[in-house]
């Protein structure tokens, strides 16, 4: 089992340090005024009020200062005037000093009124000056103690471990993860095998003069398994594994991040060969740009990271792995040759990859005999490893709720639907007219898809509301995985998306809010066809939009003149209108079939794709568009 204990004092400032700092401020506030009085009263002597009056009467006073609460004076009898002692007495309340001041004036004594003390100097000393003196004195003391004990690390590194690395260290050389636990990423694993081999047999490479790449950057969408791959590399190599997130370097204190970088590389070098893994490196590796102001702490941390990567020799067996889903914002200096030499793409798994991933996640799950993981892999196109792990876990939880000891195929399919559409809202009651509209809307989608050639087969239609906000949905399951789509296939997809609104218009002559998501998806697809795929005759082969954040939302931003953008909008509108009219035309021609399937769905609430095709095949005149009847 891996040892997940943190290395040293890497949990930030301990409670004892925070309590000590709070105690310093408390002492300064409570005893500050007393200490200030002691400091400022040094070299003074307090006398009684009678002694002061006697000195006035005997003309012994040289000069005096009178305030609301105190009288300070010096005597003529002092031999050295510069060092003459200062005497003070507390002024008695409600005592008229008119006679005293007249006597002082008569004797030629210089006297004045002291300035009114509003307490600001005392407050400044108690709240600011004194705490700072204590705090920096404590820093100096802790640094001396740390240096004498061999701790090193100047700055904040010696105080409560603030500058220490926060990396999780698997010092038993086992992360508990190997390549056996990673599926669907064969290409990425092949790229990392060489690193493992180098850590095992470095002399084989150094003998020929080869050097191991200092760093490898894992790039991919969230949930594809970048962190899992890094742990698998450490597990296969059987070396210490230092794991830290990019955000763990940055603190409110300037210089702490750089100190943690130094400490991390220092600790890794001590136990080399070792692997350093920095997750979400874009937190500190963002491109340095001063146009809109910079972050000194983050940039200082990045500079230190660049210096550390340059400073160590890869032949000692320290390898740096990093992961990000935003490679386009990383600093160019971080990606240059000699630092992160390799970029390893951790992509979404294909059909076979999803099947292998499902095998991994169901390894410890009791499965029923009817489970077909290949069919589930086929249905989950675009899913990443984290999605599939969540799907399997949801299926296991459902099996327990249903009182079964094994997960069957229905559990997996229902869990898949739960992930994409949410759970059924059994308490939601639709009116009769609403249920009719939803039924025709969903059958409109399904019928357009069933009547068109090259469309994805419909697997399920339901009008049961779900927690995702959908009052119903039509699920299509591809027969095979495709990586290219023709313009004709995309137009059929647009017609299918707009088939729901078309059915509402053809049957009821109304437009409802239920088509909002369909219109949004159709508009996004049509805009890509016009601005990115070059499928518009008017725009031609001109890219008008640039996709950013490829591994996150992948949204495209227009990069063209305003007039060209207006032309693109007109093309998108024309394409959508044409597909909408085609969908309405098809549904008008098949109105009887539309009514028949919609009434059946209204009765059953949920039907399968096979039920749909029974109605379609029973229609003598129903042939997919573009096909002609053939005799057998």
- Domain positions in the chain: 13-160, 168-345, 351-421, 432-618
Q: How does 193-207 read in b/e, with b if 16+ C-beta sit within 10 Å? A: eebbebbeebeeeee
* Dist CA 409 CA 395 (whole Å): 9
CATH number of 168-345: 3.40.50.300
Instruction: Give the domain 351-421 fold.
Output: Helicase, Ruva Protein; domain 3 (1.10.8)
* pLDDT computed for residue 578 by the predictor: 96
- The tokens describing 63, both together, are 């000069």
| Torsion 624-625-631-632 (CA) sign | negative
| pTM of the entire predicted model | 0.68
Round to whole Å and give the CA distance between 164 and 13: 10
**Integer distance in angstroms from the first to the last C-alpha of the chain?**
66
Residue 458 CA to residue 450 CA, distance in Å, equals 7
Instruction: Name the token pair of 266.
Output: 């220092």
pLDDT in tens, 231-268: 888 888 888 888 888 877 776 555 677 888 888 888 88
Distances in Å between the alpha carbon of 522 and those of 495, 499, 506, 579, 626? Answer: 9, 11, 19, 10, 23
Q: CA separation (Å) from 364 to 212, 359, 389? A: 37, 10, 12
Residues 66, 72, 75, 79, CA torsion sign: negative
Other Cβ atoms less than 10 A from the Cβ of 406: the count is 14
Query: What value does the mean pLDDT take over residues 279-301?
Result: 75
- pLDDT at residue 383 in the model: 87
Q: For residues 461 and 458, what is the distance between their CA atoms, to the nearest angstrom? A: 8
As a whole number of Å, the CA-based R_g of the chain is 40
Q: What is the pLDDT of residue 433?
A: 92
**HSE of 588, CA atoms in CB hemisphere, 13 A:** 10
Tokens of 305: 């990271």
Calpha distance 448→474 (Å, rounded): 11
pLDDT in tens, 188-219: 888 888 888 887 787 888 788 877 778 889 99
* Cα–Cα distance for residue pair 580/485, rounded to 1 Å: 20
Across 321-347, b (16+ Cβ under 10 Å) vs e yields bbbbbbbeebbebbeeeebbbeebebb
Q: What is the DSSP letter of 94?
A: T
Buried b (16+ CB within 10 A) or exposed e, 42-66: eeeeebeeeebeebbeeeebeebbb
Indicate if the alpha-carbon torsion angle 583, 479, 396, 420 is positive or negative.
negative
Give the tens place of pLDDT for each residue, 260-283: 888 888 888 888 788 888 988 988
pLDDT of residue 5: 39
Residue 457 near residue 474 (C-beta atoms within 8 A) = no
Three-class SS state of 507: helix
Active site residue ranges: 442
Torsion sign across C-alpha atoms 163, 168, 171, 173: negative
Nearest alpha carbon to residue 355 among 323, 377, 324: 377
pLDDT digits (tens, 9 = 90+) for 121-144: 555 555 566 666 666 666 666 555
User: Which 3 state secondary structure label does DSSP give 581?
Assistant: helix
- Distance (Å, rounded) from C-alpha 602 to C-alpha 492? 26
Residue in the block written with tokens 């300037």: 254
Q: What is the CATH code for 432-618? A: 1.20.58.760
* Rounded Cα gap, residues 37 and 54, in angstroms: 27
Average pLDDT, the chain: 78
Determine the Cα–Cα distance for residues 12 and 503; give it in Å rounded to an integer: 61
Q: Which residues pair with 372 in a beta bridge?
A: none
- Measure the CA dihedral 573/576/580/582, to 10°: 110
pLDDT band at 79 (very low <50, low <70, confident <90, very high): low
**Concatenated DSSP letters for 357-395?**
HHHHHTTTS-B-TT--HHHHHHHTTT--HHHHHHHHHHH
Residue 596 has pLDDT above 90, yes or no: yes
- Of the ranges 185-189, 268-272, 530-534, 622-626, the best mean pLDDT one: 530-534
Q: Which is more confident, 295 or 587?
A: 587
Report which of residues 622 and 440 the model is more confident about.
440
CA-CA-CA-CA torsion sign (62, 65, 66, 72): negative
> Is residue 546 within a helix (H) or strand (E), and if so which, with residue range?
strand 545-547
Which residues, at least 6 apart from 39, have a Cβ–Cβ distance to it below 8 Å?
none
Q: Which residues pair with 169 in a beta bridge?
A: 242
> Is residue 83 pLDDT above 60, yes or no?
no
Q: Are 439 and 598 in contact (CB under 8 A)?
A: yes
Residue 169, φ and ψ in degrees, nearest 5: -115, 125
Other CB atoms within 10 Å distance of the CB of residue 23: 11
Assess whether pLDDT exceeds 50 at residue 344. Answer: yes
At residue 520 the predicted structure's pLDDT band, cuts being 50, 70 and 90, is very high
Between CA 336 and CA 345 the distance in angstroms is 17
Q: Which class is 13-160 in CATH?
A: alpha beta
Interval 136-163 mean pLDDT: 49
- CA distances, 279 to each of 350, 354, 413 (Å): 25, 24, 33
Q: Record the tokens describing residue 611, joined without a space.
A: 């039920």
Give residue-wise pLDDT tens across range 455-468. Answer: 888 988 998 887 77
135 CB-contact burial (10 Å; exposed 0-12 / middle 13-18 / buried 19+): middle
Across the range 1-24, mean pLDDT stands at 49
């Amino acid at each position: 089992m891996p040892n997940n204990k943190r290395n040293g004092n890497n949990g930030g400032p301990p409670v004892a340090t925070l309590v000590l700092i709070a105690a310093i401020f408390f002492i300064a506030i409570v005893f500050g005024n007393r200490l200030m009085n002691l400091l400022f009263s040094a070299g003074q002597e307090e006398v009684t009020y009678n002694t002061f009056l006697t000195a006035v009467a005997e003309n012994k006073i040289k000069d005096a200062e009178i305030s609301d609460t105190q009288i300070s004076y010096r005597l003529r009898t002092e031999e050295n005037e510069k060092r003459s002692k200062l005497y003070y007495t507390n002024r008695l309340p409600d005592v008229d000093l008119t006679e005293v001041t007249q006597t002082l004036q008569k004797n030629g004594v210089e006297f004045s009124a002291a300035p009114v003390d509003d307490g600001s100097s005392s407050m400044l000393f108690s709240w600011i000056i004194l705490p700072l003196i204590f705090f920096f004195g404590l820093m100096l003391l802790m640094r001396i103690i740390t240096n004498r004990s061999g701790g090193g690390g100047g700055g904040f590194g010696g105080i409560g471990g603030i500058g220490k690395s926060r990396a999780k260290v698997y010092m038993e050389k086992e992360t508990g993860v190997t390549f056996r636990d990673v599926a669907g990423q064969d290409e990425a694993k092949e790229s990392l095998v060489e690193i493992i081999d180098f850590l095992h047999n470095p002399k084989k490479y150094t003998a020929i003069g080869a050097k191991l790449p200092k760093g490898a950057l894992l790039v991919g969408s969230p949930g594809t398994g970048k962190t899992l791959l890094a742990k698998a590399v450490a597990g296969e190599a059987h070396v210490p594994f230092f794991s830290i997130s990019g955000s763990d370097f940055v603190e409110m204190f300037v210089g702490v991040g750089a100190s943690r970088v130094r400490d991390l590389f220092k600790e890794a070098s001590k136990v080399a060969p070792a692997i350093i893994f920095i997750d979400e490196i874009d937190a500190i590796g963002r491109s340095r740009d001063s146009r809109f102001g910079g972050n000194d702490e983050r940039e200082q941390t990045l500079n230190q990271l660049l210096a550390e990567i340059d400073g160590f020799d890869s032949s000692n067996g320290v390898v740096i792995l990093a992961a990000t889903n935003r490679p386009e914002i990383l600093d160019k200096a971080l990606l240059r040759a000699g630092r992160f030499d390799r970029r390893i793409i951790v992509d979404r798994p294909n059909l076979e990859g999803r099947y292998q991933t499902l095998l991994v996640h169901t390894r410890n799950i009791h499965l029923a005999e009817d489970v077909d993981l290949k069919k589930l892999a086929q249905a989950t196109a675009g899913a990443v490893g984290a999605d599939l792990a969540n799907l399997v876990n949801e299926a296991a939880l459902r099996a327990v709720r249903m009182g079964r000891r094994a997960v069957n195929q229905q559990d997996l399919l229902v869990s898949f639907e739960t992930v994409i559409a949410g759970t059924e809202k059994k308490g939601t009651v639709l009116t009769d007219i609403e249920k009719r509209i939803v039924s025709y809307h969903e059958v409109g989608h399904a019928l357009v898809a069933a009547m068109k050639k090259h469309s994805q087969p419909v697997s399920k239609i339901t009008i049961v509301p779900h927690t995702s906000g959908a009052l119903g949905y039509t699920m299509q399951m591809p027969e095979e995985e495709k990586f290219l789509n023709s313009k004709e296939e995309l137009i059929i997809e647009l017609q299918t998306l707009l088939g729901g609104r078309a059915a509402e218009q053809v049957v009821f002559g109304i437009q409802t809010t239920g088509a909002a998501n369909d219109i949004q998806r159709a508009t996004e697809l049509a805009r890509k066809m016009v601005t990115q795929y070059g499928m518009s005759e008017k725009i031609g082969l001109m890219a008008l939009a640039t996709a950013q954040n490829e591994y996150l939302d992948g949204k495209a931003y227009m990069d063209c003149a305003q007039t060209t953008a207006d032309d693109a909008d007109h093309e998108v509108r024309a394409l959508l209108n044409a597909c909408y009219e085609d969908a309405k035309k098809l549904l008008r021609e098949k109105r009887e079939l539309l009514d028949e399937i919609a009434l059946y769905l209204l009765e059953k609430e949920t039907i399968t794709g096979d039920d749909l095709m029974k109605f379609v095949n029973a229609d003598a005149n129903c042939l997919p568009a573009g096909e002609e009847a053939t005799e057998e």
